[in-house]
Structure 1
Amino acid sequence: MSDFDALMEFQRTTEALSSVAERLGWDQETVMPRGATEQRAEEMAAMEAVLHERRTDPRIGEWLDGAEAEIEDDEDARMLKLIARDFQRQTRIPARLATELARLTSLSQGIWAEARSNDDVAAFLPTLAEILMLKREEADALADGGDAYDALLDDYEPDATAETISGIFAAMRPRLVQLREDLLGAERQPAQLTGQFPAETQLRLARQCATAFGYDWTRGRMDLAVHPFSSGRWQDSRITTRVVTADPFNCLYSTIHEVGHSNYELGIDSDYAFTALGRGVSLGVHESQSRISENQIGRSRAFTEWLFHRMSDAFDAMNISDPQAFYASVNRVAPGYIRTESDEVQYNLHIMMRFDLERDLIAGKLDVTDLEEAWNTRFLKDFGVAVDKPSNGVLQDVHWAVGLFGYFPTYALGNVYAGCLNEAMREDLPDLDESLTEGDATPAVEWLRENIHRHGSLTPPVELIENACGAQISADPLLDYLEEKFGAIYAL
């Protein structure tokens, strides 16, 4: 067996075990008995120990050296580059640290969920302090003398830096803030959908929305979770959602968002399964798929017309009686605490706040004991609203509880990428709205599959987006889209 073939066979087993570990995480968040938390933490730690040992196996370095001479095409070269990158990063992390992080972040999910349910910050902060200590250690090991936060960010958005992201955010903020002020001060204000919407009916509609976006139910399923997520790849990518009886949009648009993620994983070239190419290339690109599905497609005038009729049939006497008012209600801009429920205009402002806070946490400029006060102070400054309870504030997101420091900015990058992709897609599919009004988003999904999904990790993130759009990445398409769309809704 050649060095290249030996490496690919070894990698295949590693990828399969990684998929098993991911399924354990899905199970914990959906159907695992609440009393099994400690057992699951040990199981996750054991799996991480095995995976870390494989990912740092010295033979990988030897195989990589020999395989360089055996490269036959660009796919081979890219696979070797990705494996080498992961090998170099993993060998800098002590096995003890990797195992302890897996154990602690598994335990912390339950602790966070309980604290969130009880609005008890104090019950969660000691665990968060432990996670932060371990993540700082990991960041220092990965940075090798460089910027610690950048080292964590590189796990989610390769080659991105905090400095670059800060520049993008600084350019976006003035236009976003001005647009928000104009909308909140506009004479025309959309009505808010009110009422009680039964959970089972919401879930039935959520399934219809997932089907409208081409979700493959033979390779997926939908469950409930405290914080919606998707999980899996290749032949098994699952989605979750949540239900608030007074707010059906929460359920429906969380579902569409997660379908965007799963469609990406299910749309990757099947030849890449169990290889380093067989996953989304970055979290920013991944978020572009969920955000364009949720917003530019799912909250479009055309798709909401179809959704209005489905909801009118499903629920008794909605307080909104025509498609135009429904479209405006779906896109209503209003002060709110929750990032995942935020409108398109304010969403990135939520991300910018979290980005600044977590950078300070990793750098040691902000202590965990001061985090809630820092959050509340910044939120009041940015949104003009005082946080009323921790579940609407510092406890609302699961990310820090599971150690995902460096993840948040990829949401905003995903919005920027989605703005560029939407502009290009609309040029290529001028009749897309005709399909959307019939509840058929598959032409858009097929365009994304051709230009993004099928490539997996073959092409680096920036290159992939620019190839799809035929232009350099810029925040302007997103900001132009927001100003045009919301200016029309609010009659600015």
Structure 2
Amino acid sequence: MSAYEDLMAHERRTQALDLVAGRLAWDQQTMMPQGSAAQRAEEIGALRAMIHARRTDPRISEWLERAEPDTLDEVARAQTRHIRRSHERLCRVPGDLASALASLASRAQGQWADARAADDFKGFAPVLEQVVALKREEGAALADGGDVYDALLDDFEPGASAEGIDACFARMRPGLVALREAALDGVEAPPLRGRFDEAAQLTLARKLAIAFGYDMDRGRLDKAVHPFSSGSGTDVRITTRCSPDDPFNCLYSTIHETGHACYEQAVMADYAFTPVGRGVSMGVHESQSRLYENQLGRSRPFCHWLYGQMRDTFGDPGAPDEEAFYAAVNRLHRGYIRTEADEVQYNLHVMLRFDLERALVSGDLAVNDLEAAWNDRFEADFGYEVPRASLGCLQDVHWSVGLFGYFPTYTLGNIYAGALHEALRRAVPDLDSHLAQGDPGPATAWLRENVQRHGGLHEPRDLIERACGTTADEGPLMGYLSDKFGTLHRG
């Protein structure tokens, strides 16, 4: 076999092990017995140590050196680019540190869930302090003298920098604040009223996932404390959560995770078990989930169709007519939870987390001071106090499992989604007529062809700009938000 063939045979086995580790993590959040957390931490730690050893195998450097670039096609060049980047990065991280991080994150996840249920940040702070310390150590190793936060961010959005993101957020923030204040000064649309059966919510959620293109023969829908998507290829699973008085929590979490899952299911089958066989970055991933959830799922024509589905499912949908239902779906409102925030304020939640986690990583903010810092910043940004930790710094799972550098990709995803939506509307001018029938198919087909099937073939921003035919910046997103919300809630 050639050096490239040897390299890819090694990589396929590594990718398979990585998917197994992901399945263990999925099980931990959905079906694992509560008393199994300590054992699962050992299992995941051992598996992650094995994966780290394979990805730092010295033979990888030899195979990469012997692979002849002139003989490689576009896909093979992309494969070697991903493998080289991963190998060089991970060789800077000691294997025992990688194992310790995986094991600690597994334990911390369960402790976070318990602390969130008990509103007990002080009880969780010691384990979070351990996570932050290990992530600083990992970031310093990866940075090799450079910016530690940028090194962590690179795991989720290659090519992005904290400086660039900070500048983008600074441009967006005044417009978001002004739009929020103008909308909330008007007549606030009422929320849905009523009680909504959990089993019926899940039945409708499955129907929505299928409508958006999710293949249930290669996936499943379960409940979790924090909704997520897991897997790739022919085994991609999604989760949601239910609230008896808020069906949107379940329905729109499901559509969101369906966007992630459809991306992974749509990647070309030939790329399976390779670096190119997955979504290229979390920002691009979020562009799919946010576009599915917001520009499509919260659009006026789709909401009018969904109103009928709600009536069929629940009888009284909690709104008197289609327009009232559309206003309820898109209402700007006071709240604390990022995943339940409206499209305008969602990005302000992300900006808060971005600033706080940079301070944690740099050491400018101590873990013991995080709750107070969060509460102060939230009151300054949103104008009211956080009443308890589960509505504040304990609401997200990310920091407990070491995902520092992840949060800004949510707003990057919104920015990409704005640009993609603009291009999609040009390509499918009759999209609204399809959405009014509960059929997002033309939109999801365009995304599948122009974004999803390519997997990791192109660099993140290059992929988006190829699809859009133009530079991707925050302009289309801000224009979309202004057009939609500028008059929606005015009296």
TM-score, length of structure 2 as denominator length: 0.99
Cα deviation per residue 1:116-157 (whole Å; 9 max; x = unaligned)?
A: 001111111000000000000000000000000000000000
- Aligned residue number for residue 413 of structure 2: 414
Identity over aligned residues, as a percent? 57
- Aligned residue number for residue 392 of structure 1: 391
**Equivalent residue of 2:237, what SS?**
strand
Equivalent runs, 1:220-235 vs 2, <5 Å: 220-235=219-234
| Superposed displacement of residue 70, structure 1 | 6.1
| Superposed displacement of residue 490, structure 1 | 2.2
Matched, 1:102 2:93: no
- Aligned residue number for residue 258 of structure 1: 257
- Aligned residue number for residue 84 of structure 2: 84
CA distance in 2, matches of 1:266, 1:211: 13
| Superposed displacement of residue 69, structure 1 | 4.5
Contact kept? 2:69, 2:77, Cα under 8 Å: no
Structure 1 unaligned runs (5+)? none
Contact kept? 1:4, 1:70, Cα under 8 Å: no
2:326 alignment partner AA: Y
CA distance in 2, matches of 1:74, 1:211: 33
| Superposed displacement of residue 335, structure 1 | 1.1
CA distance in 1, matches of 2:446, 2:300: 20
CA distance in 2, matches of 1:317, 1:94: 58
Contact kept? 1:55, 1:90, Cα under 8 Å: yes
**Equivalent residue of 1:32, what SS?**
coil
- Aligned residue number for residue 349 of structure 1: 348
CA distance in 2, matches of 1:2, 1:409: 40
- Give the 4+ runs in structure 1 shifted more than 6 A: none
- Aligned residue number for residue 35 of structure 2: 35
| Superposed displacement of residue 211, structure 1 | 1.2
2:292 alignment partner AA: S
| Superposed displacement of residue 318, structure 1 | 3.4
2:455 alignment partner AA: G
Contact kept? 1:243, 1:250, Cα under 8 Å: yes
| Superposed displacement of residue 376, structure 1 | 0.2
- Aligned residue number for residue 2 of structure 1: 2
- Aligned residue number for residue 144 of structure 1: 144
- Aligned residue number for residue 167 of structure 1: 167
CA distance in 2, matches of 1:446, 1:264: 11
Equivalent runs, 1:306-317 vs 2, <5 Å: 306-317=305-316
Contact kept? 1:139, 1:152, Cα under 8 Å: yes
| Superposed displacement of residue 396, structure 1 | 0.1
CA distance in 1, matches of 2:69, 2:371: 54
| Superposed displacement of residue 489, structure 1 | 1.4
| Superposed displacement of residue 491, structure 1 | 4.0
- Aligned residue number for residue 54 of structure 2: 54
CA distance in 1, matches of 2:336, 2:105: 25
| Superposed displacement of residue 286, structure 1 | 0.3
CA distance in 1, matches of 2:446, 2:315: 37
Contact kept? 2:183, 2:490, Cα under 8 Å: no
RMSD: 0.9
Cα deviation per residue 1:216-263 (whole Å; 9 max; x = unaligned)?
A: 011010000000000000101000000011100000000000000000
Equivalent runs, 1:368-379 vs 2, <5 Å: 368-379=367-378
- Aligned residue number for residue 68 of structure 2: 68
CA distance in 1, matches of 2:89, 2:230: 23
Cα deviation per residue 1:296-337 (whole Å; 9 max; x = unaligned)?
A: 000000111111011112213333111111101100001110
**Equivalent residue of 1:277, what SS?**
helix
2:336 alignment partner AA: Y
CA distance in 2, matches of 1:189, 1:35: 45
- Aligned residue number for residue 465 of structure 1: 464
Equivalent runs, 1:118-197 vs 2, <5 Å: 118-186=118-186, 188-197=187-196
**Equivalent residue of 2:67, what SS?**
helix
CA distance in 2, matches of 1:52, 1:71: 29
Contact kept? 1:419, 1:477, Cα under 8 Å: yes
**Equivalent residue of 2:311, what SS?**
helix
- Aligned residue number for residue 426 of structure 1: 425
CA distance in 1, matches of 2:484, 2:441: 23
**Equivalent residue of 1:345, what SS?**
helix
Paired residues, what number? 491
- Aligned residue number for residue 404 of structure 1: 403
**Equivalent residue of 2:276, what SS?**
coil
| Superposed displacement of residue 433, structure 1 | 1.2
CA distance in 2, matches of 1:401, 1:209: 31
Contact kept? 2:331, 2:489, Cα under 8 Å: no
Contact kept? 1:351, 1:411, Cα under 8 Å: yes
CA distance in 2, matches of 1:223, 1:355: 29
Cα deviation per residue 1:340-382 (whole Å; 9 max; x = unaligned)?
A: 0000010000000000000000000000000000000000000
CA distance in 2, matches of 1:16, 1:346: 39
Equivalent runs, 1:285-296 vs 2, <5 Å: 285-296=284-295
**Equivalent residue of 1:336, what SS?**
coil
**Equivalent residue of 2:176, what SS?**
helix
CA distance in 2, matches of 1:486, 1:460: 33
1:56 alignment partner AA: T
CA distance in 2, matches of 1:144, 1:487: 46
CA distance in 1, matches of 2:486, 2:351: 23
- Aligned residue number for residue 304 of structure 2: 305
CA distance in 1, matches of 2:33, 2:248: 28
2:160 alignment partner AA: A
Contact kept? 2:291, 2:421, Cα under 8 Å: yes
CA distance in 2, matches of 1:45, 1:306: 47
Structure 2 unaligned runs (5+)? none
CA distance in 2, matches of 1:444, 1:486: 22
CA distance in 2, matches of 1:107, 1:191: 41
**Equivalent residue of 1:386, what SS?**
coil
CA distance in 2, matches of 1:465, 1:428: 15
Equivalent runs, 1:200-215 vs 2, <5 Å: 200-215=199-214
CA distance in 2, matches of 1:438, 1:316: 20
Contact kept? 2:188, 2:333, Cα under 8 Å: no
**Equivalent residue of 2:222, what SS?**
strand
- Aligned residue number for residue 446 of structure 1: 445
Contact kept? 2:7, 2:63, Cα under 8 Å: yes
- Aligned residue number for residue 16 of structure 1: 16
Contact kept? 1:71, 1:77, Cα under 8 Å: no
- Greater shift, 5-14 or 62-71, is seen at 62-71
Contact kept? 2:418, 2:477, Cα under 8 Å: yes
